[in-house]
Every structure is written in structure tokens, then in C-alpha cells.
Amino acid sequence: MTRNFLIVAGSIVLLATLAGGASKHVRRAKSSSGVPLYTVTDDIEDDYNEAIDMVSTNYAGDIDYEKATQAAIQGMLSTLDPHSSYFPYNEFRKLKEDQDSRFYGIGVTINQHRDGVYIQSTVQDTPAARAGLRYGDRIVEVDGKDARSWDSQQVSKNVRGARGEAVKLKVERAGSESPLYFTIVRDAVALPTIRNAYMVRPGTGYVGLTGGFQRTSDDELRESLVKLKSEGMRQLILDLRGNPGGLLEQAIDVSSEFLPRGQVIVSVKGRTEYSDPVVYKSKGTDPEDVPLVVLINRNTASASEIVAGAIQDQGRGLIVGETSFGKGLVQRIFPLPGNTGLTLTTARYYTPYGRSLQRDYSSGSFYDYYVRHDAEVPEPSPSGSPKTPQPALSQASPPPHLPTGPAVKTAAGRVFYGGGGITPDIESKLPAGSLLRNRIIDEAFYFTRQLTAGAIPGLDSYRVDKVQYGRTPKATDYPITDQVLEAFRNYVKADANAGLTLAQVESELDFVKLRLREQIITAAYGADDGARVLLDSDPQVMRAIEALPDARRLAESVRNAASQG
């Protein structure tokens, strides 16, 4: 084990000197083709090997060489950029599962609340749904291990496993005096990247492509579009909010659903693999020509930014929301011995008109890069905002802070700036969250857990014994009546842990009604239908609907200019 560690760690030092530089006794290593790759000094290699030998010989405790090797690899990668990362065995397996849009588990979504982890919903046609797990079941044991103090990540890690292996769960269910025990055999669980596709308004389709860009994304999108057109769709909102990205080829295929054949989608420039820039163009032979608005936010990243950037640069539709994350670095996955692997940045993305998507990461910590990016900087509003609407075809004005990239003139003469993600045509932010609203969400869950278990007197009609998947909820299904609200008020008064007063409930009564209905519909019809309750009153979705006429005019203007040019 020690010898293997020294070999691996030594090779890490050779790579790390690329970032750190070398100044004496320089040797140049070469690839198998003879191309120089990096330099290394005798002093650095000798110092590192001597340090490892000192640790192995003199350290007072046991040494986990595998863990030390992993830390060395990740430490080297962290000197490069925020997106080059090492993946131990379990994480590398999960990465590959996510790319296949499936994993092996039982098929539940879980949420962490104040006293533990609860099942929010079961996925249709999965082991959990067939076994009878329900909304509101509290997970207290997994395979005999006490899970009451675990967080969601720990529960998820222990519930997942190899296909065909059983996992034993002990749960507490509202309305049941004794805990319930389940033995569930793990199986493949689909991870669709589109969880909601429906008519948000008559004639207006909504597609939520929020689960990354995996191997099935374009197929899912095409199926969703066919379904919506059969229901009378004449205009479309494509929601990419929170989409972390994924496979480049899927971003190209998704963009091709909307852009004419031959239009540039993205170019990729790199050091070796893309030393000659590669330009990817639309493959669409019969693209959708309905008016299009794309929703983005701060967590729209990578492949989803490619799609948004292509739509914006080519003038195919309007972008509504908040400036996206700004990830324009291309990672390639490299397997390593022992079924581990790493992602390494090998190139950069550029929009059709040459904007770099990547936000600067040269100053500040990686924490700032991921969590606090532009937290104190006003969002630019190049083509209008909800408060001060302007014509959608107007030229973009410079952002209020200094851009890191040059101004780029795109289709219809609009100007945007590179080096900081995709700036929306129309800025629209969600209302800021609050501690009070978080408490209301939490209490709505606990109340609904009792309500749908039939434990709230006088409201037996809200009892849910079995999820009805695939049924679009109607306004008359499980309405939030005065009786339900009064029961909620009484529940809040009796719950010493709620942290809510009746005055606070009254001050946020509309929000209370919204969240109660979301939770009840989730329990009755599943998580996707519960999400629709929120989408139907989502301010950014409403702003996107308002922007659709401008999106139509923009696309027509660009098409007319192309036909005349």
C-alpha cells in the first residue's frame, strides 16, 4: 500500500508543478507521442518523496493511504480551477449513473425537517411506490442503523446501493401507533431531466428542463413538445432554472430543436483536444418555430447556458430571469484505476457570436465562487425589467459593473458582454425568502402529514391512502377551504415547536394557502403535480408569459433580416 501511494503521489507532484511553476534542475516530461506536457524539478520531487517517507516512518497514528492519495489528487486539481475534481469510487459511480439518467435505489424524494428526514413523495412504478411508502413517513432506521439524526445526504447514501440488493427501512407514519418496517429490493430508478411539461395557460406550453443534460434529455424534450402541440400549444416557455448542465452533445441536440439547420450553437476552444476550435451547428431539419422564452437563474450553468446563449445570440427567443452562473469550462471525464475518476477542464465554451460564458475565478475562494457569486452586485437588465419594461428589440445597455469580456453585437444588433454567464433580456427576480416563510413551509408539511393521514377531525375527505399518479389536479381537488385554514391555525397553536404565531399566519395567509395546497397535492398526486401548484403562481413564469409577444417580434425580425441579407 505504501509503495502504491508513493507512486501515485509522486505522479501528482509532476502534474502539480504545471500550476506552481519550476525554476531549477528542470526536466520536461513527454506524452507517449513525444509532445512536451509539463516540467518538473528534481528538488520538488525529492522533497515530496522525502516528506512521504517521513510521514510513513514517523507518524504516530495509523495512516489511511487511500484517503491521503485522494486528498493529494484533489489538492492538485484545486490549484487549476473550480470545476476540475476527483471522484472516489461511490461518487464516480453516481456521476456515471446521473449521466445515464438513472440510478439504483428505491425511488423516493426526501426532505430534511427540524426533527429528521421525511419522505416527500414516491416515484411512480418504483420499489418504494410498490412497497407502500408514503408522503410524510419519517425514516428512523436504515438497515438497522439509527437514522433519526441523519441529514438527507446520509439517508440518500445509505438507501442507494447495488441493484437487486435489499434495504430495510423503519419508518414512523402519522396515524400509526407503532413503527412500520419495509424490506425493499433496490432497482433502477429513472431520473428524467424533464419533470413537468404541461399547458400553463391556454395555448402556452411549459417545459421544465431542470434536471441536467443527460443522455435522454433531447428525447424527453421532443416527446414533451409533441404532447404539448397535441394539446394546442402555440408558444413555449423553456425553464432552465437550476439546471446544472451536463453533456455537451445534449445541449447541442436541445438547441437544434429550436434553431434552423446550420446555425452556430457553440464553439469550443482548448489546449490539446480543441486546439483547433470546434464549431457546433444546429442539426435541426424541422425546428420548432413557436414563440420562445427561456427562463434562467443564478444556478443555470454550463450546458444550460450553452442553450440559453445560443437562443439569445441567434435572436430565436428571449431570456427571462437572473444572470446565470457563468460556467464556460469544458470538463472531460478520465477514469482512474480502482473505478475512481476525475473531471479535468480541457477547453472553454463560446456563444455563437463569441462571448465567453466563464465567470472570473482568479480572486476569492471557491466558496465565494459557488455560493456568493455577485451577491452584492446589482443584476444588469439589458433589455428591460419587470418594473420598467422596454421594447424587447432595443439594444442592450452596458451592465452596471465592469464586464470582464468585450461587448459583442449579436442578431438584431443587440449587444451583450462575455465573461459572466448569460445576462437575461428581461430581468425578473423571485421574492427574497424569509425565516417566517421557511417556518410556514415546515409547518405546512407537518400539518399536511396529519391531514392526509386522516388524523385531523372533520376533514376525512382529505385522507390519502394511495397516490394517484398522472392525474392533473383540478381547482376543485382538495381545496383550501376556511375549514382547512381553521384546522391549520389550531395546529399551529398546539405545536410548541412551530415557532409561529397566529398573527404571523394571518400576515402571510396567501402564502399559507399556496403552501398547504402544494403539500396536499404532492401527497395525493405526487411531487411533479405539487410543483405545478407553485409554477402556476411563479412570478418569473408570469413574467415569461408576458414576454412571449416580444419574443415573437424578435424572432420575426431576425428571420426577416436573414431573408433580406
CA 243 to chain centroid: 4
Residues 213 and 318 in one domain: yes
Residues 156 and 141 in one domain: yes
Q: What percent of the chain has pLDDT over 70?
A: 84
Residues 228 and 368 in one domain: yes
Residues 184 and 200 in one domain: no
Which residue in 302, 304, 324, 356 is the catalytic one? 302
Show which of 391, 413, 430 is a domain's final residue. Answer: 430
- Model pLDDT for residues 328-375, shown as the tens digit of each residue: 888 888 888 878 898 888 888 999 999 998 887 777 666 677 765 544
Residues 424 and 321 in one domain: yes
Quick check: 151 and 158 in contact, CB under 8 A? no
Domain extent at residue 52: 2-80
Q: Is residue 557 in some structural domain?
A: no
The total number of structural domains in the chain stands at 4
pLDDT greater than 50 at residue 383: no
Eight-state DSSP code of residue 336: E
The CATH number that applies at residue 173 is: 2.30.42.10
pLDDT score, position 40 = 55
Q: Is residue 240 in some structural domain?
A: yes
CA 414 to chain centroid: 29
Which residue in 187, 239, 313, 425 is the catalytic one? 313
pLDDT score, position 84 = 87
Q: Is residue 356 in some structural domain?
A: yes
Q: Could you write out the DSSP letters of every residue in 163-230?
A: TT-EEEEEEE-TT-SS-EEEEEE-EEEE--SEEEEEEEETTEEEEEE-S-B-TTHHHHHHHHHHHHHH
Establish whether 513 is a catalytic residue. Answer: no
Q: What is the average pLDDT across 235-244?
A: 97
Quick check: 518 and 534 in contact, CB under 8 A? yes
- Model pLDDT for residues 255-290, shown as the tens digit of each residue: 999 999 999 999 999 877 777 889 999 998 899 999
- In this structure, of 68-72, 341-345, 389-393, 448-452, the range with the lowest mean pLDDT score is 389-393
Residues 262 and 200 in one domain: yes
Q: Is 26 helix (H, G, I), strand (E, B) or coil?
A: strand
Helices (H) and strands (E) in the chain, counts: 16, 23
Considering only CA atoms, which of 519, 520, 491, 522 is closest in space to residue 505? Answer: 491
Q: How confident is the model at residue 5 (pLDDT cuts 50, 70, 90)?
A: very low
Residues 321 and 378 in one domain: yes
Label the pairing between strands 166-172 and 180-185: antiparallel
User: What distance in Å separates the CA atoms of residue 169 and residue 180, rounded to the nearest whole number?
Assistant: 8
pLDDT score, position 547 = 98
pLDDT greater than 60 at residue 24: no
Residue with cell 400553463: 200
Q: Is residue 91 in some structural domain?
A: no
Distances (CA, A) of 328 to 325, 349, 414, 455: 9, 5, 21, 52
**533 is written with which cell numbers?**
401548484
Q: What is the average pLDDT across 99-114?
A: 84
**31 is written with which cell numbers?**
506524452
Q: Is residue 337 in some structural domain?
A: no
Residues 166 and 180 in one domain: yes
User: What distance in Å separates the CA atoms of residue 440 and residue 128, rounded to the nearest whole number?
Assistant: 28
Establish whether 302 is a catalytic residue. Answer: yes
Q: Taking all residues of the chain, what is their mean pLDDT, rounded to a whole number?
A: 85
Q: Is residue 155 in some structural domain?
A: yes
Residues 499 and 472 in one domain: yes
Residues 122 and 209 in one domain: no
Residues 282 and 424 in one domain: yes
| Residue of 63 and 128 predicted with greater confidence | 128
The answer, as to whether pTM is greater than 0.85, is no
User: What distance in Å separates the CA atoms of residue 3 and residue 109, rounded to the nearest whole number?
Assistant: 44
Residues 423 and 440 in one domain: no
Q: Is 346 helix (H, G, I), strand (E, B) or coil?
A: strand
Which residue in 327, 428, 442, 528 is the catalytic one? 327
pLDDT greater than 60 at residue 377: no
Establish whether 125 is a catalytic residue. Answer: no
